[in-house]
Amino acid sequence: MAVLNLEKIKDLRKEKKLSQEELAELLRFKSVYSYNRKELGHVKFSADELHALAIFFKVPSEYFFDQDVAKNATKDKEKEVI
């Protein structure tokens, strides 16, 4: 299962030396508060918003996601191979 990694978004924003307010304006969020709630994970980013972030930061949309593999899923795979 893919899990959104909000730290990657925050890190890219900081690398570009942008405040949350500046990024909110660039992405046409209604307020910095609405952007802040998304970056903190209180509200989910929409697919369109993630797509816009990917275009802005020049990364593939998949960049923002980590694969979350259940611990027992890898153990089951090992048992099948043995």
Domains of the chain: 2-81 (1.10.260.40)
Q: Model pTM?
A: 0.77
- β partners of residue 67: 2
Question: How confident is the model at residue 72, as a pLDDT?
Answer: 59
Q: H or E segment at 33?
A: helix 32-39
- β partners of residue 17: none
Identify the segments of the chain with pLDDT beneath 50: 76-82
Question: How confident is the model at residue 1, as a pLDDT?
Answer: 78
Where do we find the tokens 């925050």? 10
As a whole number of angstroms, the distance between CA 10 and CA 77 comes to 34
3-class DSSP state for residue 3?
strand
pLDDT tens per residue across span 27-36: 899 999 999 9
Question: How confident is the model at residue 25, as a pLDDT?
Answer: 95
